[in-house]
Structure 1
Amino acid sequence: MTSVASQRASGRLLGDQLWELLELLELLEPLVPPPPPAKNGRTGRPRVDDRAALVGILFVAEHGIAWKKLPTELGYGSGITCWRRLRAWQEAGVWEELHHAVLEKPGQDGMLDWSRASLDSVSVRAKKGGELTGPNPTDRGKAGTKYHLLVTADGLPLAVAITGANRHDSMLVEPILDGLSPVKGPGRGRPRRQPVKLHADKAYDNKRVRRYLRRRGITARIARIGVDSSERLGRHRWVVERTISWLLAFRRLAIRYDRSAVTITAVATLAVTVICARRLPWNDY
């Protein structure tokens, strides 16, 4: 990989809004698997730099253009190269590791607020159908995808999961919380992997969810159907709605065109990683 200094000098990043992501580029380097070995002493065309590929991927994710329409004159390689790199890194676990690496920094400094977490989802139209889609009950049964997002008390995304739009929200509580990776905190204490409280709306109000949270030692702050107003929890749960709006600012996610589960999962995981990176005071690290 080329140095961060050369990236800055070349001016090939997306713009001022991504200068804070130079640290993200540094975190990527040790996670990327080595390139495939040469065959019969031939390496073929020069390999597109991993940093350039990452920024090309981000360009597509943010602007929502088709992969094939990524302008090669930007210097990020072809869109198909970026697409292949995105998928290869997803299959190698790079995007999840990168998200975890970003969370480790505030975690070790005691800046990751585990006092409460909020869970919510949003459905988007899947124009071309594909994996992890289903008939959207709120969009005349058209093919749709649902993003499930878990955030900290101040809105940092801890996890994102993807299902068909017809999947009930409450079915994702267990897999999302069980799938959280431990995050190191300050000192020598055990890494944290669950919040103290979970805030959610009435879609999550059922006995199975409440039993699960009780078993995990997590206090349920879930609006009860027919009893509580969903607005009652709004003073805490608004942070997840704000983070969802940040997620949908990535136009490749706002309307889904990628048919593959590998591709859409990779884009969503990268998006929440970027959201975390943009919210952190990198100058303190």
Structure 2
Amino acid sequence: MPVLPSSITDPLWDQCQALLPKRAVAAHPLGCHRPRIPDRFVFDKLLARLVLGGTYQQHADHTCSATTVSARQDEWIANDLFERLHRLALKAYDEAIGLDLENLVVDGCIAKAAGGGQNTGRSPVDRGKSGLKRSVLVDGGGLPLGWVLAGANRDDSPLLRPTLEALRLFGFHPPPSITVHLDAGYDSQPTRALLEELGCAGRINPRGQFVPINHTHRWMIERTSSWHNNRGFKALAIVTDRRAVAQDAWVALASAVIVIRRLLRRAWTACRWDARPARRP
């Protein structure tokens, strides 16, 4: 049974296939060379691990071994495949629906990382166990634009600058007026100085005052954090990869799935195409 609907996996794989480098198929002179596992098999295994979590060995079977999945993932990471998939998904959404870059929201969420590794630290919300923090930047509709990975013991405020710079790294041209929505953890003079330096307006929840989240724009990123951690991506909720490049690749792949799912949902009522799902995603 597929872990994701074909309306999401098929366009994602079509774009992935277009980004993969062309490989010459060389036949062994004795006819005994083991053929290369098709990329689509490996891609489906990666999607299964993203959604279900677990180790590579748990998702291996007679069609594809754990070593093949891990090696092919490293090969694709070296080609920036997952980051490019995420950027192309955002570009398609921007052309079809339009990104809300006038309202940006930044916040951090903590995931378990019991095995330690890079970008991990003592989690203040999990009895000092090892954890990973994702400082995520989303647009006004909650679509993930960029992120910064750090240890769970890192404060949110120092991660704000590199998180906001992800908008420039992804090639978007922000509008002249930008409002950055932040929670009380960013209520400090350095944060206001940074926003003034970047030419952004800030709406920061004041410390010591309860502000219902539905009265602010911050509920968008709370929903995105729920998409990452609790709704369908167990590889992000429990981080088992120790290398930073692998951790970043999983976030990029999950974010691409989120953007495509949202694009299908928004376009379902306004557009018609041959492979349009019978029901609204």
> TM-score scaled to structure 1, two decimals?
0.82
SS of equivalent to 1:72: coil
- The within-5 A match list for 1:210-225 is 210-225=192-207
Shift, 1:148, TM fit: 1.7
Aligned to 1:8: none
SS of equivalent to 1:274: helix
Aligned to 1:20: 8
Instruction: Decide whether the 8 Å contact of 1:57 with 1:83 is kept in 2.
Output: no
Aligned to 1:30: 18
Write the distance in 2 (CA, Å) between the matches of 1:193 and 1:88.
36
1:112 matched to 2:95: no
SS of equivalent to 2:92: helix
Identity %: 32
Shift, 1:229, TM fit: 3.1
Aligned to 2:141: 154
Write the distance in 2 (CA, Å) between the matches of 1:107 and 1:116.
15
Please list the CA deviations of residues 33-75 of structure 1 after superposition, one character each: whole Å capped at 9, or x if unmatched: 34488699799422222222222101011111210111425x4
2:184 to 186, 202, 205: 202
Change (3 A) 1:246 1:18: farther
SS of equivalent to 2:218: helix
| Equivalent position amino acid for 2:41 in 1 | A
1:138 to 92, 102, 125: 125
Aligned to 1:277: 260
How many pairs are equivalent?
263
SS of equivalent to 1:236: coil
1:128 matched to 2:115: yes
Please list the CA deviations of residues 180-229 of structure 1 after superposition, one character each: whole Å capped at 9, or x if unmatched: 2123xxxxxxx448971111101112222222212222111111224x43
Aligned to 1:49: 38
> TM-score scaled to structure 2, two decimals?
0.83
Write the distance in 2 (CA, Å) between the matches of 1:273 and 1:50.
18
Write the distance in 1 (CA, Å) between the matches of 2:29 and 2:251.
38
1:100 matched to 2:100: no
Write the distance in 1 (CA, Å) between the matches of 2:206 and 2:155.
16
Q: CA RMSD in A?
A: 2.7
Aligned to 2:234: 251
Change (3 A) 1:145 1:14: same
Task: Identify unmatched segments of 5+ residues in structure 2.
Answer: 274-281
Instruction: Decide whether the 8 Å contact of 1:199 with 1:233 is kept in 2.
Output: no
Aligned to 1:9: none
Write the distance in 2 (CA, Å) between the matches of 1:18 and 1:149.
27
Write the distance in 2 (CA, Å) between the matches of 1:78 and 1:66.
12
| Equivalent position amino acid for 1:57 in 2 | L
Shift, 1:80, TM fit: 2.5
Instruction: Decide whether the 8 Å contact of 1:56 with 1:79 is kept in 2.
Output: no
Range that drifts further, 59-68 or 232-241? 232-241
